[in-house]
Structure 1
Amino acid sequence: MSDKKDFAYRDYLKGMKYKEIAEKHGVTINTVKSWKTRYKWSRDGVHTKEKSVHTKKKGGQHGNKNARGHGPPKQNSNAVTHGFFSKYLPVETLEIMEQINGRSPVDLIWDQIQIQYAAIIRAQQIMFVQNKDDMAKELKNAKYEYYPRSEEDGGGVEKAPVEEEYEIQFAWDRHATFLNAQSRAMSELRSLIKQFNEMAHDDDERRLKLVQMQLNIEKTKAEVDKISSDDDKPIEILIKRKS
């Protein structure tokens, strides 16, 4: 992708239009405009730049070892692959793909483990239910009537609701949704950890972090299982304990 961007920049210096550059390199016009803004393309001093480019091309003879590393950038398999996706994926996505090219499968799995674990911890705060009376109320649809304001009130139009539709989630519903989502998330995390342990080297220091992480997961899972079991028959359990 970087090679394609560099070639597109050279065409931009030559005075080609966005549409021409996009068609030549198989990208969208918005992609070309994004490159121009992101990398601050400018045609100032274009003649000097063109001259320096031609000077480089007239360098060492073909086959000369001294010319190695000074020629135009070569296309590689990554550039070909990204060229295939460049018509369909945003520029930011392609740049992320470039950055992760050097990461191993173990590194990628470790990244997923951290993201998944962070999501589980964050969900504790987002989905927290304080007590059985904790209710969430969110406006879903509304209809309004508009009335003109007097000049004394600043003029304009005043909006007044005449019909409102709310989505209400009771504590038990929110908590049940949270438990189900938490259970699925922890199951996925355990699967990722298992893959990491199978692929990582024995001396990988990240294994130590997984030990504590797994302990926290098992503790949370036990708490979720206990709460789920209690929620199935809350009345019967309480009666048996009091008898």
Structure 2
Amino acid sequence: MAKVRSPNRDKALDTWLEHKGKISNRELASLLGEKEKTISNWKCRDQWNVVLQTGKRSTTNKSESKGGAPKGNKNAKGNRGGAAPTRNTNAVSHGFFKRIFPDDEETLHIVKEIETKSPLDLLWENIVIQYTAIIRAQKIMFVQNQQDETRVLKKQKQGDDLWEEEWEYQHSWDKQANFLQAQARALSTLTSMIKQYEEMCRQGWANEEQQLRIQKLKTEVNKLNEESNPDPVIFKDDLHE
């Protein structure tokens, strides 16, 4: 059975448009008796910001309210019902991803996940991945002291009467310099993604919980930068909040 579209979904958009986007998700949820998270999901899926800018509403999911396909639709003609055949290309939009990605269950699962996520969710996941990589690098690239030298065997050669070996030496100051450069680039990328996330929050993409988690991460990033940079503050606006 098709999921029935909630009448509050359209009411929420109408109310939000009446306020020209100046009403919070929490206020809308209270007015309509819905959860704040539900309002946030509707806002992302129905692209309220696009509707506000263009005046055109998305036709996505309109058939939900009728409990089936639009009148005159022949897509299901001759279909006996039941689940789609195994490996059905419908699992991937227009078969596009299936043509360019490996044909395995894990890849198809990732594609299906992407289709249900909002742009804000996708951005947050990339922020988490980037931040995790930076934290892991603290241990992987750690330089203990000035005597922390690494010797790597590059080449071995055996002659008639001798054995040759070529070694590469990585001194502590070289390793530390490489680490600082890599960390600076990674932090710059992370900072850019966080600022993009905040801009989407200001445009109404995020609920209160999503806004709080980015503020918490900004604090963590500033602390991380304090440990390796004499001029520690990345997000200077935090000082005035």
3-state SS of 1:132 partner: coil
Deviation at 1:71, TM superposition (A): 7.7
Greater shift, 131-140 or 115-124, is seen at 131-140
Distance 1:83 1:210, change over 3 A: closer
Count of residues in Structure 1 that have an aligned counterpart in Structure 2: 151
Give the RMSD, CA atoms, in angstroms: 3.4
Please tell me whether residue 140 in structure 1 is matched to residue 144 in structure 2.
no
Please tell me whether residue 208 in structure 1 is matched to residue 212 in structure 2.
yes
**Aligned counterparts of 1:72 and 1:203: Cα–Cα separation in 2:** 36
Deviation at 1:181, TM superposition (A): 0.6
3-state SS of 1:141 partner: strand
Distance 1:171 1:64, change over 3 A: closer
Q: Percent identity?
A: 40
**Aligned counterparts of 1:63 and 1:219: Cα–Cα separation in 2:** 56
3-state SS of 1:129 partner: coil
Match of 2:117 among 90, 103, 106: 103
Q: Which runs of 5+ in 1 are unaligned?
A: 1-61, 147-160, 229-243
3-state SS of 1:70 partner: coil
Partner of 1:182: 183
Please tell me whether residue 121 in structure 1 is matched to residue 122 in structure 2.
no
**Aligned counterparts of 1:127 and 1:64: Cα–Cα separation in 2:** 58
Q: Which runs of 5+ in 2 are unaligned?
A: 1-73, 233-241
The letter for the 1-side match of 2:215 is V
Partner of 1:165: 166
Q: TM-score, normalised by structure 1?
A: 0.52
The letter for the 1-side match of 2:167 is Y
What stretches of structure 1 move > 4 A for 4+ residues in a row?
A: 62-68, 71-77
- Between Structure 1 and Structure 2, whose CA radius of gyration is higher? 1
Deviation at 1:63, TM superposition (A): 9.7
Instruction: Tell me which protein shows more helix as a share of its residues.
Output: 1
**Aligned counterparts of 2:127 and 2:145: Cα–Cα separation in 1:** 31
Is the Cα contact below 8 Å between 1:113 and 1:189 reproduced in 2? yes
Question: In the TM superposition, what are the counterparts of 1:1-243 in structure 2 within 5 Å?
Answer: 69-70=81-82, 76=90, 78-85=93-100, 89=102, 91=104, 92-144=106-158, 162-200=163-201, 201-226=205-230
Partner of 2:64: none
**Deviations 1:193-212, CA, capped at 9 Å, x for gaps:** 11222224342413322222
Distance 1:131 1:193, change over 3 A: same
Q: TM-score, normalised by structure 2?
A: 0.52
